[in-house]
Amino acid sequence: MTTEESLEELRGRLRLLEDERAVTRVVLSYGPAADAGQAERAGSWWLADGEYDWDADGDPHQGSAGVERMLRTEGHLGLIRNGAAHVAGPLLINVEADHATALNYSLIMRREQDRFYLWRVSVARWELERHNSRWRVRRRTNRLLDDSGVGRELLGDTLAKVFDDI
């Protein structure tokens, strides 16, 4: 291997690490922004025509504006007013050129009286695209890990289709 080939390989490895770090920052920034009531900031990580599919039986929120609207509802504002934390588990990330997929657990803690408890446990699949040199969410699919099996199915399908080489 020539010096130039070695340098190019190193550049590629560095780009991959930088992309994984940038994807991680987008995904991990959503929860704190949502909990701080910063709907515009949280929505800004979605593409204008992206989707947030959070309910197997409901309609997805459409684009950054849809995410912002959802975070401004009384349901969400009441949740954070009483004390809540959206917690993202460690990410599995696959980057291919200008597209990335991340998979993680999504936990929501709630405060009731003087204690916090785990309220929801979900699987989240994030599909991101590089847009104007920045990573943005094309689609987030969120499914509860409950007796319906949809969360377990999303987890298994994503592992098989995206992370099969691990």
- Which strand (E) or helix (H) includes residue 30? helix 3-35
Encode pLDDT of 27-54 as tens digits. 999 999 999 999 999 999 999 999 999 9
pLDDT for 55: 84
pLDDT for 57: 85
Q: Write down the pTM of the prediction.
A: 0.94
Q: Which fold has domain 3-162?
A: Nuclear Transport Factor 2; Chain: A, (3.10.450)
Residue 164 in this model has a pLDDT that exceeds 90: no
Residue 166 in this model has a pLDDT that exceeds 80: no
Residue by residue, DSSP assigns the chain as: --HHHHHHHHHHHHHHHHHHHHHHHHHHHHHHHHHTT-HHHHHTTEEEEEEEE--TTSPPEEHHHHHHHHHTSHHHHHHHHH-EEEEEPPPEEEEETTEEEEEEEEEEEEEETTEEEEEEEEEEEEEEEEETTEEEEEEEEEEE-STT-HHHHHHHHHHHHHSTT-
pLDDT for 76: 96
Encode pLDDT of 95-147 as tens digits. 999 999 999 999 999 999 999 999 999 999 999 999 999 999 999 999 999 99
Q: How far apart are the first and last CA of the chain?
A: 27
